[in-house]
């Protein structure tokens, strides 16, 4: 599925800080602007979150945990930091870690870097729609 990852009930979209990337870029939220930096390839179930038309993926880093800022990094096969699970209730969870893609404190300000945080039922900061 190709589209834009959107935070539910808002117009703020998941965006890559820059394209093309020679170094890792931050993954943050930004108002809808229609640029390629907001176009993602993601599927239900086990998936990578890949920036459309590139070989760059959402990456949780080498020590994922609560409050760790997300980066966009070159995609690698079998790299746990890039292996996500898009749930039926619209959460993007790091596989096997109990951590979800999260909007820090629910702040919709442009350039707010997204993070991982413990998956929590009823936390709208962790609900994403395509």
Residue by residue, what is the 3-state secondary structure of 60-93? Answer: CCCCCCCCEECEEEECCCCCHHHCEEECCCCCEE
Q: What confidence score (pLDDT) does residue 22 get? A: 63
Q: Please state which architecture CATH assigns to domain 2-129.
A: Trefoil (2.80)
Under 8 Å between Cβ of 100 and 85: no
Q: Is a pLDDT exceeding 70 seen at residue 7?
A: no
Instruction: Write the pLDDT tens digit of every residue in 36-88.
Output: 889 899 999 999 999 998 999 999 999 999 999 999 999 999 999 999 999 99
Q: Is the pLDDT of residue 25 over 80?
A: yes
Residue 122, pLDDT > 70, answer yes
* pLDDT reading at 1 higher than 60: no
Domain boundaries, the chain: 2-129
Given CA atoms 92, 8, 129, 41 in this order, what sign does their dihedral have?
Answer: negative
> What's residue 92's pLDDT?
96
């Amino acid at each position: 599925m190709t589209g834009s990852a959107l935070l539910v009930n808002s117009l703020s979209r998941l965006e890559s800080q820059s394209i093309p990337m020679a170094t890792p870029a931050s993954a943050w939220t930004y108002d809808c602007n229609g640029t390629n930096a907001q176009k993602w390839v993601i599927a239900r179930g086990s998936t990578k979150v890949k920036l459309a038309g590139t070989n760059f993926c959402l990456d949780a880093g080498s020590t994922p945990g609560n409050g760790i800022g997300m980066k966009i990094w070159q995609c690698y096969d079998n790299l746990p930091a890039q292996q996500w699970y898009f749930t039926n209730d619209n959460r993007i969870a790091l596989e096997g870690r109990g951590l979800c893609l999260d909007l820090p404190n629910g702040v919709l300000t442009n350039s707010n870097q997204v993070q991982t945080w413990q998956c929590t039922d009823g936390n709208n900061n962790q609900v994403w729609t395509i």
